[in-house]
Every structure is written in C-alpha cells, then in structure tokens.
C-alpha cells in the first residue's frame, strides 16, 4: 500500500497549505531581481524589493501547490482508508466468529466507497488550491510590474 507508514505530520509538512521552502523563495527572488539582495536591503526594503519578495513568495507557493496538485491527479484512492481496509482484510482471515466476519466484509465494502469519495475530494481541493495560488501569483506579478513601470517612468 502506498501510504502505509506515512506519519500525519509528513502530510501536513508537504501538503498544499504548507509554507514554501525558504530556499525556493530566495531562488525565485534572485531570478526576479537578477541578483541576490544583500541582508541590509531587507532591514529597510524598498517598494521594489517588497513587491519582488511578495512575488517570489507567491511563485514558490505556486510551485509547491502545483507539485501537490500533480501528485493528486494520479491518486484514485485514500491511502489511510486503504490501510484500514488492509487491517480489516487481515481480520477476515483471523476472526473466528461468523458474525464478525460478516461485519468485516460489510465494512470493507463501505470503506471502498469512502476511499474513493475522499480521494476525489482531495483532487478537488488540490485543484482549488492551485487556482488560488495561481490567482495570488498573477496579482503579485501585476503589482510588481506596476512598481517596476512606475520606477522606470520616474
């Protein structure tokens, strides 16, 4: 099973809602500005640097969300519920009572439906997060370009 042994905290750290890695933001910032800003510039950032920083943050977040989105597209099941289904499958072979076996069979089939439902929900959520991250990035880009244009016309 693909999700077996994965801790819940790992999911939180790598989920679509996690903060982008600082290194990614710094790389995007260098790419946007064409140079690595000095640490002094961050103490009293100019409007240009602030806008570039917001854009870099939005770009790094978009990347992180996009990775999550791409992974979610190929998952058609919920890993945690599949793990529970595996436990029930074991119980089916080791339980002695026919009543318990009948209940286990019923629950295996119920989990089947739940696994697909939550997997589809995860896909929908990943799509929504991507659209939000894309909009935030486009806004940040628009703001940055406005500031660059205003700076060059002054």
Partner 1 sequence: MPDDDPTMRRLPNPARMLLADESATEYDALLQEYFADMEPVGALERRQVELILRCDVDIDRQFRMIAQHLNPLGEEANRGAQMLAEWYRLELRHPDAPEDEDAQRKPPTLTLPEGDARLTPLIASRYAQRRELIALHHREVTFAERRRRQAIELLYRMQDRRRRASSQVEVADAEVIEASEA
- What are the two backbone dihedrals, phi and then psi, of residue 119, each rounded to the nearest 5 degrees? -65, -45
The conformational region for residue 25 under phi > 0 = left, psi -120 to 50 = alpha, else beta, is alpha
Contact 81, 114 (CB under 8 A): yes
25, 111, 136, 147: residue in contact with partner 1 (rule CB under 8 A): 111
Closest distance to partner 1 from the beta carbon of 37 (Å)? 13
**For partner 1, which is the closer residue by CB, 19 or 131?**
131
Contact 111, 85 (CB under 8 A): yes
20, 25, 28, 57: residue in contact with partner 1 (rule CB under 8 A): 28
State whether the Cα torsion 113-115-118-123 is positive or negative: negative
75 is an interface residue for partner 1 by CB under 8 A? no
33 is an interface residue for partner 1 by CB under 8 A? yes
23 is an interface residue for partner 1 by CB under 8 A? no
Please list, in sequence order, all residues whose beta carbon lies within 8 angstroms of the beta carbon of residue 150, skipping any fewer than 6 positions away. Answer: none
Pick out residues in 124-153 that bind partner 1 (CB under 8 A): 124, 127, 131, 134, 138, 141, 145, 148-149, 152-153
Closest by CA to 25, choosing from 56, 2, 66, is 56
Residues engaged in binding partner 1 (CB under 8 A): 27-28, 31-35, 59, 63, 66-67, 70-71, 73-74, 76-77, 82, 85, 89, 92-93, 105, 108-109, 111-112, 115-116, 120, 123-124, 127, 131, 134, 138, 141, 145, 148-149, 152-153
């Amino acid at each position: 099973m693909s999700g077996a042994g994965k801790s819940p905290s790992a999911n939180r750290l790598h989920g679509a809602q996690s903060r982008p890695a600082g290194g990614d933001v710094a790389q995007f910032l260098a790419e946007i500005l064409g140079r690595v800003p000095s640490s002094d510039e961050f103490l009293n950032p100019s409007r240009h640097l602030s806008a570039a920083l917001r854009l870099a943050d939005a770009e790094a977040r978009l990347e992180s969300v996009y990775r999550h989105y791409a992974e979610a597209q190929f998952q058609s099941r919920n890993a945690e519920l599949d793990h529970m289904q595996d436990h029930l499958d074991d119980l089916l072979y080791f339980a002695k009572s026919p009543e318990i076996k009948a209940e286990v069979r019923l629950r295996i089939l119920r989990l089947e439906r739940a696994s697909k439902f939550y997997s589809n929900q995860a896909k929908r959520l990943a799509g929504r997060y991507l659209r939000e991250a894309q909009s935030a990035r486009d806004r940040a880009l628009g703001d940055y370009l406005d500031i660059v244009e205003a700076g060059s016309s002054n």
